[in-house]
Structure 1
Amino acid sequence: MTSAALRSRAWKLLEMVTTPVLPSDYLDMVSPLRAGGDLRGRIEAVHPETGDAATIVIRPGRGWRGHTAGQYVRIGVDVDGVRLWRAYSVTSPTNRPDGRITITVKAIPDGKVSNHLVRRARPGTLVQLDQATGDFVLPQAKPAKVLYLTAGSGITPAMGMLRDVEFDDVVMVHSAPKPHDVIFRNDLHDLVADEKLRLIELHTDTDGMLDIARLGEFVPDWAERETWACGPAGLLDAVEGHWTEHGVPERLHTERFRPGVVVTGEGGEVTFAATDKTVDADGATPLLEVGEEAGVLMPSGCRMGVCFGCVTPLTAGAVRDLRTGEITEAGPGVLIQTCVSAAAGPCDIER
């Protein structure tokens, strides 16, 4: 008998004598970051960035395959006994010597995971991880001239890129309500002092929102630059329109953290068939959030309509896509993304 066969037989015997707790469960307790198990990470530090944002330092397990600057990672966090998943940009460089990664999280109103990570996360806490993903990244050939257009927490993927690659000519236009709301402000000004970045910092409480039509006043050669933009949907809509109008859409790359929400519909009574729960929902709240509030275990992923980790059968009624307003009616084999769908009248979903 080969050594591999002997190991397999021994493992099966162990499973028999340790049931209902499997050997892998014991290994998880002793070595939760081991190779071969579910990918996890351990929070090793929490560094405040602003009053409502913090950088979380995570030691990933041995199965971590690394990331490309600008990508995001899905984090599974246990909050009040419920495991919730959210996606955050990786803000550390790809070659960090200690092998750790960082995410930088801004607490949003009523955000269960963001507030937990910013205000309650402690070193030693284990989190679930997925492999990094996303195409908001730099090309293999470094652009000669780069522009970043960011607002609020939209600065996070851009900071990951700035920490990873030194550009010959890079400009950033960043908006935040006040100076103390600018995430990474000290890091940005250090780059400016080292002549590695030209920064236009706008404070919307005093300067107002950025008018994209006036971008040329801040960056006269903006149309010649490869541009990465990340921020609220309104900013990105304006940016995309401006680049298209001037005939250079191929030089623009955008990252949307959340779908642009269309406020429509009357909502309705939502029935979660598998758990026999029925709740009232309005026409603007994603069914994913409706289910979570009702205590229904809902699959989820990026929560912005990209990864399809939340796909669920619609067995009755109709839903409205919050991005487009399109109505989807139930039928054989009809699947919906619960993170970007809201009730458009009474509906049943298979959860």
Structure 2
Amino acid sequence: MMRDQAVFQSTSRVTQPQFWGALPARWDSDTDDTLVCCHVRQETHDVKSFFFRAPAERAFVFEPGQFITLELDIDGETINRCYTISSPPTRPHTISITVKRVPGGKVSNWLHDNLQPGSSVRVLGPSGEFTCARHPARKFLFLSAGSGVTPLMSMSRAHHELGEDSDIVFVHSARTPDDIIFARELDLIASNQTNFRTAFVCERVGARTSWPGVTGFLTLPLLKLIAPDFLEREVFTCGPAPYMKAVRHLLDEGGFDRKQYHEESFSFETISEVAAQLATAHVADALHGTLSENVVGFAPAPAPVETKFKVSFAKSNREIECGSGQHVLDAAKKAGVRLAASCTQGMCGTCKVKLVSGEVEMKHAGGIRQREIDQGMVLLCCSKPKTDLVVDK
């Protein structure tokens, strides 16, 4: 997709007259982490899109399907939340997220009630590996439910705006027809591209007096009707955990090759489950990285001897023991130490703390800035101790 971004940059001077001249410098959250909300758009009765610009003119460069992490101050508490970018990289001057109001959800309700044009937020990213840019294919199948439509919308918008009449079947599931996010825009893209097809599956009709689409749930027979050649397609799936689990079972039932399957989820349990299934099937292309296949004929390497280290929490005056092969967050939870955490995959930055002393091995996925690492910050969810540690917590 980087080639496509370069193509778009060369033509953006004439397509966006408010930005005459060369594109501005690339936005980098490591050096400029504040964005300003420039527009809010109501998508459905409980879904809004929030658009952002950098205070100093900057261009956003990312791959469609990636996410950003918002660092919000809510009621005196700093909360991190990951949101997929719903805008495409072909619109480099703004970036957007699309958020569904969740009953009782602290962050989604705060965004809906408080974030407005002129508001500033701190942002980390973009990050993530869930993108069609890294898995080029002749034909795609996008499967989404609810607000899981956002990364697939970014991908669809990118293909559309680059004039690539890619063979894409987009199947979206919603509670009712009025809950379909981006319904009109998806219809517009389908009308503009010969090989882009949509299908909406609604659990019930809702307030509509009539609904020409399908009611119920996505099933294998229905998928075969919508996309008879689904076995040949590269599949990207995003939605609530139960939905994605149902999709995996559906595809398995249909004989789908998991090497062509890609899923987005910030749920550690879901990621672990998929990884285990893929490992059992000896599939190398895993959800967030590559799983090594078993090599026949070689004895397994002996398990390394684990060293135990002390981890002291300076503010709470707690001390735990953590093995050299164990993540500090896991050891803390096992010992009953309550720590803020969200994705547990090194992506969101929720478990970021100051390391007062000691040394760790940290393998993160974009949830921390280099300058923060230089200042002694670590993510406990993806850090293993190499010495005794003192944490400012």
Residue aligning to 2:84: 89
CA displacement at 1:220 relative to structure 2: 0.9
RMSD: 3.4
Residue aligning to 2:152: 158
Q: Residues of 2 paired with 1:134 and 1:176: CA distance?
A: 25
Determine whether 1:252 maps to 2:261: yes
Aligned partner letter, 1:256: S
CA displacement at 1:119 relative to structure 2: 2.6
CA displacement at 1:208 relative to structure 2: 2.2
- Is the Cα–Cα contact under 8 Å of residues 42 and 49 in structure 2 kept in the other structure? yes
Q: Residues of 1 paired with 2:111 and 2:59: CA distance?
A: 21
Aligned partner letter, 1:118: H
Q: Residues of 2 paired with 1:37 and 1:209: CA distance?
A: 46
CA displacement at 1:34 relative to structure 2: 10
Q: Number of matched residues?
A: 260
Q: Residues of 2 paired with 1:133 and 1:34: CA distance?
A: 12
Residue aligning to 2:117: 123
**1:292-338 deviations in Å (ceiling 9; x for gaps):** xxxx9x655xx23322642789xxxxxxxxxxxxxxxxxxxxx9749
Aligned partner letter, 2:218: L
Which of 178, 199, 213 is 1:180 aligned to?
178
Secondary structure in structure 1 of the residue aligned to 2:109: helix
Q: Residues of 2 paired with 1:109 and 1:39: CA distance?
A: 29
Determine whether 1:220 maps to 2:259: no
Q: Residues of 2 paired with 1:336 and 1:131: CA distance?
A: 19
Change (3 A) 1:188 1:277: farther
1:129-208 map, 5 Å:
129-139=123-133, 142-166=136-160, 167-195=165-193, 197-206=196-205, 207-208=215-216
Aligned partner letter, 1:174: H
- Is the Cα–Cα contact under 8 Å of residues 220 and 251 in structure 2 kept in the other structure? no
CA displacement at 1:160 relative to structure 2: 0.5
Residue aligning to 1:17: none
Aligned partner letter, 1:90: I
Q: Residues of 1 paired with 2:352 and 2:30: CA distance?
A: 27
Q: Residues of 1 paired with 2:244 and 2:122: CA distance?
A: 31
Q: Residues of 2 paired with 1:273 and 1:91: CA distance?
A: 39
Determine whether 1:306 maps to 2:348: no
**1:159-217 deviations in Å (ceiling 9; x for gaps):** 00011113421111101111111111111111122235211111112422222464212
- Is the Cα–Cα contact under 8 Å of residues 73 and 133 in structure 1 kept in the other structure? yes
Percentage of matched positions with identical amino acids: 31
Secondary structure in structure 2 of the residue aligned to 1:123: coil
- In the superposition, the TM-score normalised over structure 1's length comes to 0.65
- Is the Cα–Cα contact under 8 Å of residues 243 and 252 in structure 1 kept in the other structure? no
Which of 75, 88, 109 is 2:103 aligned to?
109
Which of 75, 80, 86 is 2:70 aligned to?
75
**1:263-296 deviations in Å (ceiling 9; x for gaps):** xxxxxxxxx9755599xxxxxxxx9xxx9xxxx9
Aligned partner letter, 2:262: H
- Is the Cα–Cα contact under 8 Å of residues 35 and 55 in structure 2 kept in the other structure? yes
- In the superposition, the TM-score normalised over structure 2's length comes to 0.58
CA displacement at 1:103 relative to structure 2: 0.7
Secondary structure in structure 1 of the residue aligned to 2:246: helix
Change (3 A) 1:65 1:46: closer
Q: Residues of 2 paired with 1:224 and 1:77: CA distance?
A: 42
- Is the Cα–Cα contact under 8 Å of residues 101 and 112 in structure 2 kept in the other structure? yes
- Is the Cα–Cα contact under 8 Å of residues 149 and 238 in structure 2 kept in the other structure? yes
Residue aligning to 1:56: 50
Unmatched 5+ residue regions in structure 2?
1-26, 206-214, 271-311, 319-328, 356-378, 383-390
Q: Residues of 2 paired with 1:106 and 1:60: CA distance?
A: 24
Change (3 A) 1:192 1:259: same
